[in-house]
Amino acid sequence: GAVVSQHPSRVICKSGTSVKIECRSLDFQATTMFWYRQFPKKSLMLMATSNEGSKATYEQGVEKDKFLINHASLTLSTLTVTSAHPEDSSFYICSAGRTSKGFFGQGTRLTVV
């Protein structure tokens, strides 16, 4: 079946540095991918829609310059957290799919120290 792979699963970075998270569709092409953020025991909140070959669409309240999204190919979207701060620590999940069925990556636990 279709699989979405997310990497890394965990990352710790120092405050002020940037971190890149990758989301790959392994056996299908995804013109659109989605990035969500989740706090512990809370719901998933959509951050942005990643569109292959064009600019991402950000949800209201999400800083575009803080969370850079690149969707350079039909199988890869990346989320870069720039100048990370402790408040950016969270769980980030991507999803992609085709027709009515979507798939989620394994998620990335980001800790900014």
Partner 1 sequence: AQTVTQSQPEMSVQEAETVTLSCTYDTSESDYYLFWYKQPPSRQMILVIRQEAYKQQNATENRFSVNFQKAAKSFSLKISDSQLGDAAMYFCAYRRNAGGTSYGKLTFGQGTILTVHP
If the CB atoms of residues 82 and 109 are measured against partner 1, the closer one turns out to be 109
As measured in angstroms, the least distance from the Cβ of 92 to partner 1 is 11
Please list, in sequence order, all residues whose beta carbon lies within 8 angstroms of the beta carbon of residue 63, skipping any fewer than 6 positions away: none
As measured in angstroms, the least distance from the Cβ of 40 to partner 1 is 10
As measured in angstroms, the least distance from the Cβ of 47 to partner 1 is 10
Rounded to whole angstroms, how far apart are CA atoms 25 and 14?
29
Please list, in sequence order, all residues whose beta carbon lies within 8 angstroms of the beta carbon of residue 100, skipping any fewer than 6 positions away: none
Q: Which residues bind partner 1 (CB under 8 A)?
A: 30-32, 34, 38, 41-46, 49, 91, 93, 95-102, 104, 106-107, 109
If the CB atoms of residues 60 and 65 are measured against partner 1, the closer one turns out to be 60
Q: How far apart are the first and last CA of the chain?
A: 38
